[in-house]
Structure 1
Amino acid sequence: MCGIVACIGRDDAVEPILDGLRNLEYRGYDSAGIAVRGPNGDGRQQAVGSSVADGGVTATELAVRKCEGEISELEKLVSAQRPSGTVGIGHTRWSTHGAPTAANAHPHTGCDGDVAVVHNGIIENYEELRDRLREAGHEFVSETDTEVIPHLFEEHRRDADVAEAFRRTVRELEGSYAVALLAIDDETVYAARQGSPLVLGVDAADDRYFLGSDVPAFLEYTDDVVYLENGDLVTVSPDGYEVTDVDGTPIERSVDTVDWDPEDAIKGAYDHFMLKEIHEQPSALRQTIRGRVDAGSDDVNLEGFAPGTFAGVGRVQFVAAGTSYHAARYAAHMLSQAGVPASTAVASEFASSPPPIEDDTLVVAVSQSGETADTLEAVRRAIAAGARTAAVTNVVDSTITRECDDALYIRAGPEIGVAATKTFSSQVVTLSLLAERLVRDVTGRPSNGVGRRHDALSMLPEHVQRVVDESDAEAVAERYHGSDAYFFLGRGAAYPVALEGALKFKEITYEHAEGFPAGELKHGPLALVTEDTPVFIVTTGQHVEATLSNLKEVQSRGAPAIAIGQDPTGSFERAADEFLPVPETHPFAAGILANVHLQLLAYYAADLLGCPIDKPRNLAKSVTVQ
């Protein structure tokens, strides 16, 4: 969680850092701050060096500005007390240790004010370090684990230069972290990565460098990046950068060009990123599908996954969290229907209590960011058990791609809104293609009806566009505004869509919403159904009679029933109180289309309630702590 930004160059660093924090606010938004090294001798911070200019004294210092609240609050503070400098660091916080207060906001400084630190992750041995430092005379002013880092650096700085003091500090840290440190001594940022994401941006045209927890932090300035790996330390100055290990031994890391459009990280004319990203789904799906399937063809062309790749696999175990878990359930259902044993586990539970792993088990980890801590831990447990692993993710060269044996990208482009939308659709499509490759390699034959499914995939971008353009979800949201609770039902492939619909709704509206298998309705959930609990029933065109029976069950208890999906017989449109249709298609694609309606439903319901749709309380986009 949390977002780290740094800018190192020869021009003003404050505005690029603020830009980066705005772009990373999806990672955390309960407090924020910056620290800039420059001629800031205005009495607000300690001046530790000075030079004479025009007969006066200009002090070089670390100017720190931080506050509770969103980036907009920090912008007000910076506007009132604007620091100056060409090198700086910034942070937007999602609380793990300590409440969201100004005192707990980053950057954190030591006793002397000569060093500032921003950090993402958890320092597991911070209590031990803090106790030792207190005994040495250090005073702490926050509740955070991060604050031990600048104080520990100060201790090592007593008998070492800055670079060596930083290396010594990092050696003592235990846990998952990305750290960036700025000292008064020079125009250099020192950073380290261990378990939390950190990327270096290279702007050769302007002799400027960036650090970020994610590429969108600096994408508007450069698309040339260096993906740092666990154990890497990087020293960045206006003259260049060097990547080393913790002992100072140089490491070569390639510079890659990111194939993302900077406009993807900007809201443009939309009120919220979530609405923009719902509308981006047709283009995202075209990117996902491009070159992988053709209408009228049974072939699957997955880069890096030639026919026979999965020969010897006998069982597939998916691990994922949140929306990715729902996409994985969709894929497991497809595999099971095609005769390949498959199951899905919540990543945190798999990591805590892993099931037996056989020699022929393939563990597929699904993570939008590729940095989800619980999913990474599940992967590590699987590897330790001897499993073969594959990652399905949106981010090239993310941690999960380096730790798994194979990686497949969903190609959705950057997603800024905390509530996943376009990445769910792209995950399901990508996983369906991976599933088809597995079916062919495991069973020796294509899955039934694959040609029709590929035809539906080829039409999916156009069909999603129709749903976005024609959906009555806004009117439905208005009609059931103020209800006591909202329930979502589905059978087969529609069940994970129901789960995803409920998750979206509760994430951004803060209303009670639950997803259930339709067949479980009478085994408990029916007791919750009243005339004030609308029930949304997802139908893909399969299991029609059984699902229709569930619809009538809730209506008989007085609840309004809203059907969403494909209705080849017209039964749902006739029986339901409301009906949100999708274009005629393969049942596999019908679930994806129904989900677009549910995304819009959640969006408009949250908008009616005045909720902060892109930044729901207590949540962040990428969960990089366990």
Structure 2
Amino acid sequence: MCGIIGYVGDKKASEVILEGLKALEYRGYDSVGIAVMDREGRIRVKKDRGMLEEVSKKVDFLEMDGFLGIGHTRWATHGPPSFENAHPHGDCEGKVVLVHNGVIENYLELREELEGKGHRFSSQTDSEIVAHLIEEYRKDSEEFEAFRKAINRLKGSYAIVCMVEGKEKLFLARKNSPLIVGFGNGEMLCASDFTPMLKHTKTFAIMDEEEVCVVDKAGARFFDLRGNERKKEKVEVKWSPEEAEKGGYPHYMLKEIEEQRYSLKESFMADVRKASGLVEKYEKIDVIAAGTSYHAGLMLKYLFQKELKKRVDVVIASEYRYVAVPDKKTLVIAISQSGETADTLQAIKFAKKHGAKILAITNVVGSSITRVADETVYMNAGPEIGVAATKTFTSQLAVVYKLAFPEKDFSYVADEIARVMEETGEKAKETAQKLKFAKSVFFIGRGICMPIAYEGALKFKEISYIHGEAYAGGELKHGPLSLIEKDVPVIALVQRDETYEKMIGSIKEVKARGAHVIAITDSKEIEKVADEAIVIECKEKTLSPFYFIIPLQLIAYYTSVERGINPDKPRNLAKSVTVE
């Protein structure tokens, strides 16, 4: 996830864009750049690796003069943070310059085609190929038509803002990545969200899927990808700057839960081809991870053993060197959201010392884990500000599913997640009202639901400060039943699969001791057994973890809020654990 902004009007573009990028830096902060068209119609670009403040001091963005420009703050997905990979990107002659947020799935194929026609590339990014495609189509088409033709060639996700030398216009395109147009007084803006534009306007149009737009200082025209013009409704937004920073949400955590409908689209586009080759090659697989990533590792074990018939051990990273016996025949899959988790890095070093091959799954390009791994898969979740992992967990699951089912297309899951949020949001609030005074909450599941029960319990306790514990349903009679008494809440994850009858038995077991059972399930029949149920229609049984985790995240969030706790900053915890 990156932040993009564009401006055309009578103000100094570099000032407007620099100010806007400060509001967008939460979307990416490994490199930054601005392009401005000067009064002679020439485009100047300044960019570099690093955070906005340090790069701004280094290159002096405000030295650029002009009334039209674009800016970008990057979260790397293709190519490590560097000057070359920083946006904006241009064509061979620097006459077409653009910024991009998203992932172009077919960029390698397009790059090879363009290189065959003599185009020269200066970066490792997927974004640069779009500028060269436009350049190629400009040979026999005017600017907008060339832009539209280029966009029609792209597969994947994109929010693109483009400028062409000598043209006082911005060309926009959007698919699966947000892009909003702001209508000012004699000026126009566009950006990834409302935040950077609110000082200039309160009137906006939200671009639709597979839509293109031409913007000049007088207004904007919208078109579908075939070039048919569309009418567009405008909306008025009256947020405060603080509200806008979180997209109108009261907390980053809720915003990031909602963002899963977008982040999952990009995560399911992760390139796992080389990683799949490694998985196929090795019979001995160890997974090392901590916290939420450990639960993603448990899901990996379940799927690899069930679908790929691979034997997998999942070990908490801090324990790995004490219990594991890696060797040259071992593939170690290290999962870390930040790529900086100290326990995981130490476990990797131990495994490498004994000859193991390392496959990393992480969200941060250029992080420490990527420098010690033999192969890396990037989750493409974008920055996550809240300490409690939400969208990075489902992005980890997306990569795991791609590795387990390399031939399947799961892109529709993101839209399903949006539906689940709408259907379960109110019920999650009601549940939180009932749980806020609890002393302990137990989570139970079996089979594919077990890792989700563990993750649900972790989310709940880390931000509500209420004890939460997860158990396999079959383990209740081996100790935990002694803790069940009248009105103790038990959240049961029940799927209509081979575990269904056993889970009904587990529910009856705790109800017989007085527990209040809240079921999250794909079966309406469970309403007859549990005290209450959140029923979710799942298109595929194997994908239920994506469906069931959403109400668990929402229940944790709303319980925290009900108790007057800031869920973004739980006590004693940090986003990235960089000490052992």
TM-score of the superposition, structure 2-length normalised? 0.60
CA distance in 2, matches of 1:506, 1:215: 38
1:343 maps to which residue?
A: 313
The reply on whether 1:625 has 2:562 as its aligned counterpart is no
CA distance in 1, matches of 2:266, 2:548: 21
> 1:194-234 CA distances to partner (integer Å, 9 max, x unpaired)?
xxxx95656687968774599999998643989689xxxxx
Task: Name which of 331, 336, 352 aligns with 1:362.
Answer: 331
Q: 1:612 to 1:217 in 2, by over 3 A?
A: farther
How far has the Cα of 1:277 moved from its partner? Answer: 1.0
Q: 1:215 to 1:622 in 2, by over 3 A?
A: farther
How far has the Cα of 1:587 moved from its partner? Answer: 2.3
Q: 1:470 to 1:487 in 2, by over 3 A?
A: same
CA distance in 1, matches of 2:334, 2:510: 37
1:487 maps to which residue?
A: 442
> What are the ranges of 5 or more consecutive residues in structure 2 without an aligned counterpart?
1-13, 36-43, 58-69, 83-121, 128-157, 159-176, 179-190, 196-244
1:597 maps to which residue?
A: 551
1:429 maps to which residue?
A: 398
Equivalent position SS for 1:478: helix
CA distance in 2, matches of 1:288, 1:228: 19
2:468 maps to which residue?
A: 513
Q: Cα RMSD between the aligned structures?
A: 3.7
1:112 maps to which residue?
A: none
CA distance in 1, matches of 2:53, 2:349: 22
Q: 1:410 to 1:221 in 2, by over 3 A?
A: closer
Amino acid at match of 1:286: K
Amino acid at match of 2:301: A
How far has the Cα of 1:287 moved from its partner? Answer: 1.4
1:410-421 to structure 2, matched below 5 A, reads 410-421=379-390
1:170-569 to structure 2, matched below 5 A, reads 211-212=50-51, 222-223=73-74, 263=192, 266-290=245-269, 302-305=272-275, 308-338=277-307, 339-351=309-321, 353-437=322-406, 454=408, 457-471=410-424, 472-542=427-497, 543-567=499-523
> 1:8-40 CA distances to partner (integer Å, 9 max, x unpaired)?
xxx99xx98x9699959x9xxxxxxxxxxxxxx
Amino acid at match of 1:499: Y
Q: 1:377 to 1:217 in 2, by over 3 A?
A: farther
> 1:552-580 CA distances to partner (integer Å, 9 max, x unpaired)?
1111111101111222xx43121111111
How far has the Cα of 1:498 moved from its partner? Answer: 0.5
Equivalent position SS for 1:493: helix
CA distance in 2, matches of 1:215, 1:513: 43
Equivalent position SS for 2:274: coil
How far has the Cα of 1:359 moved from its partner? Answer: 2.8
CA distance in 2, matches of 1:464, 1:574: 26
CA distance in 2, matches of 1:217, 1:435: 44
CA distance in 1, matches of 2:25, 2:30: 17
CA distance in 2, matches of 1:581, 1:19: 42
Amino acid at match of 2:417: V
CA distance in 2, matches of 1:383, 1:268: 43
Equivalent position SS for 1:477: helix
1:51 maps to which residue?
A: none
Amino acid at match of 1:328: G
CA distance in 1, matches of 2:54, 2:496: 40
Rg: which structure is higher? 1
CA distance in 2, matches of 1:303, 1:217: 38
How far has the Cα of 1:400 moved from its partner? Answer: 1.2
Amino acid at match of 2:538: E
Q: 1:464 to 1:406 in 2, by over 3 A?
A: same
How far has the Cα of 1:429 moved from its partner? Answer: 1.7
1:178 maps to which residue?
A: none
Equivalent position SS for 1:603: helix
- Verify the 8 A CA contact 1:565 1:593 in the aligned structure 2: no
2:200 maps to which residue?
A: none
Amino acid at match of 1:281: Q
Q: 1:521 to 1:263 in 2, by over 3 A?
A: farther
- Verify the 8 A CA contact 1:565 1:591 in the aligned structure 2: no
Amino acid at match of 2:455: E
